[in-house]
Amino acid sequence: MKPSKLTGLPVCAFGAAAAALAPGCGEKPAPRPNIIIIYADDVGYGDFSCNGTSAVCTPNVEKLAAQGVRFTNAHTTSSTSTPARYGLLTGQYPWRKQGTGIAAGDAGMIIAPDQYTLADLLKDAGYATGAVGKWHLGLGETSRQDWNGTISPGLPDIGFDYSFIMAATADRVPCVYIENQRVVGLDPSDPIAVSYVKPFEGEPTGRENPELLVMTPSHGHDQAIVNGISRIGYMKGGKSALWKDEEIADRITDKAVQFIADNREHPFFLYFGTNDIHVPRVPHARFAGKSGMGPRGDAILSFDYCLGRIMRALDSLGIADNTLLIVSSDNGPVVDDGYNDRAVELLGDHRPWGDFRGGKYSAFEAGTRVPMLVRWPGHTPEGAVSDVLFSHIDIYASLGALCGVSIPEGAAPDSRDHLSTLLGGGSDREYVVEQNLSNTLSIIVGDWKYIEPSDKMRVNKQTNTEMGNDPMRQLYNLQEDIGEKRNLAEEYPEKADELRDLLETVRNQ
């Protein structure tokens, strides 16, 4: 049982249950704006032109920055997708829960139905709730889902009224859209089968049939072939339901815009996970070749365009002023993430990681310090830059505070209300904890960052990422050394001890 779920409360009904959430006499009612979180995939701090190191112009992100707050010190909880999304939606650090690492496309639900998610919270506050786009948090009970029926448990069990999702990532099977727990466009006479264990007889794979590929893998990604691109995992059937890679951005943005339009009359929460700019990068012909940086740069243009569509939809429906729009990324950037798409060769002066060290997968700043923009007209300052420390883990409690609802005991244990920071104000978080691919933890307190010792891989040679792992403990002063070049742990052992102890305290909480 969820802690205090108000089950059966119709969307936007204000019956007895909603009355229980109402403020007391004399208190100002919570304003209840619409809430949209656009969670980009693998977009680095430096990938947006508003952050100064991008060779790709992102005009819609710039417009958002001019109308709201641009954060320079915002952090996701993890440098990969599944744990970052888990932290965002549950308010619990992912390293507290087993099985929150990068999920296979056939993973069972990683957020248990009895967990009280951000979507549950907002649904109980009377919001219509929707999830569109990349999911990557598992579906069904186990990896033996029936992709041809209703996939259950699913998103309604964790608070989302509506969903139109990709099960995992574009480079993982099944390569189909799932709307409200059912595969879209499936022909029952051509059922889908998925395996992450063994290939299906007679089905070509990237490994065996490279002659069938239009884009070849640089590492991994040599299993099922869909649209001439080999993926992770094996899949058979479902031909009529397969997505077309170059249409993904349009399809999911259409659905996001539709959800907004359908719910314009009452408060809604939309979690929109873009596929851009994750591999395989296959942007629409509108963007192909337009950035001069190959598919990775073109995918950044595609992201920006989709953001523009959402912003225009809010304007044309007349609800932009009543909508809190948060744009960020699940983790930092990677250039070669497994396909030969010339991303490395064409990078030029573009610096996806900004001035930070590392990248996706890493404990260094580029792994988890992500771009973030927040706009709520009349409530966020215009064109402001915030250097205040902020973590995505706090989005949950901050939105709870915004809506004037209390979080049931035991839910969102690591999330704290930093609404004032989210809206561009002060109130520093005392510390931020981050996790890399190897589950090495680091902690930032003020100017200082401590990375715990780790024997794990130091450099991922495939992606060319410095992972931030070192058998020696690391201490950096981010104020003086944002590139994390000088390990000060030996020079300031007491500071290192202090951060280590705080990290242990948080870990054991």
Interacting positions 322-341 with ligand NG6 (CB under 6 A): 331, 337-338
Binding mask 152-181 for Ca ion (x = CB under 5 A): ------------------------------
Q: Are strands 162-166 and 177-179 parallel, antiparallel or unpaired?
A: antiparallel
Residue nearest to ligand NG6 (CB): 220
Residue 42 interacts with ligand NG6 (CB under 6 A): yes or no: yes
Residue 219 interacts with ligand NG6 (CB under 6 A): yes or no: yes
* 169 vs 302, beta carbon nearer ligand NG6: 169
Indicate which of ligand NG6, Ca ion, none lies near residue 171 (CB less than 5 to 8 Å, by partner kind).
Answer: ligand NG6
Interacting positions 338-357 with ligand NG6 (CB under 6 A): 338
For the packed helices 395-403 and 81-90, what is the interaxial angle rounded to 10 degrees? 30
Question: Is 452 in contact with 468 (CB distance < 8 Å)?
Answer: no
- Least spacing, CB of residue 314 vs ligand NG6, in Å: 27
Number of residues that bind Ca ion (CB under 5 A): 5
* 34 vs 438, beta carbon nearer ligand NG6: 438
Residue 136 interacts with ligand NG6 (CB under 6 A): yes or no: yes
Token pair belonging to 255 = 């659905």
Number of residues that bind ligand NG6 (CB under 6 A): 17
- Least spacing, CB of residue 201 vs ligand NG6, in Å: 23
Question: Is 110 in contact with 103 (CB distance < 8 Å)?
Answer: yes
Sign of CA dihedral 87, 165, 268, 65: positive
Phi and psi, residue 34, nearest 5°:
-65, 155
**Burial call 341-357: b when 16+ CB within 10 Å, e when fewer:** bebeebbeebbbbbebb
Interacting positions 389-448 with ligand NG6 (CB under 6 A): none
Token pair belonging to 319 = 């609800």
What distance separates the 2 farthest-apart alpha carbons in the chain? 72
Q: Are strands 465-466 and 459-460 parallel, antiparallel or unpaired?
A: antiparallel
* 126 vs 233, beta carbon nearer ligand NG6: 233
Which amino acid would we find at residue 439?
N
Which one of residues 5, 33, 37, 41 is an interface residue with Ca ion (CB under 5 A)?
41
DSSP single-letter state for residue 235: E
* 253 vs 460, beta carbon nearer ligand NG6: 460
* 268 vs 356, beta carbon nearer Ca ion: 356
Which one of residues 104, 121, 232, 293 is an interface residue with ligand NG6 (CB under 6 A)?
232
Q: Which residues contact 490 (CB under 8 A, 6 or more apart)?
A: none
Token pair belonging to 223 = 């299993």
Residue 330 interacts with Ca ion (CB under 5 A): yes or no: yes
Residue 281 interacts with ligand NG6 (CB under 6 A): yes or no: no
By C-alpha distance, which of 348, 92, 43, 337 is closest to 218?
337
How far apart, in whole angstroms, are the C-alpha atoms of residue 217 and residue 214?
A: 10
Interacting positions 59-118 with ligand NG6 (CB under 6 A): 80-81, 102
Task: Count Cβ atoms within 10 A of the Cβ of residue 26 and give its class: 0-12 exposed, 13-18 middle, 19 or more buried.
Answer: exposed
Q: Which residues bind ligand NG6 (CB under 6 A)?
A: 41-42, 80-81, 102, 136, 169, 171, 219-221, 232, 278-279, 331, 337-338
Q: Which residues bind Ca ion (CB under 5 A)?
A: 41-42, 81, 330-331
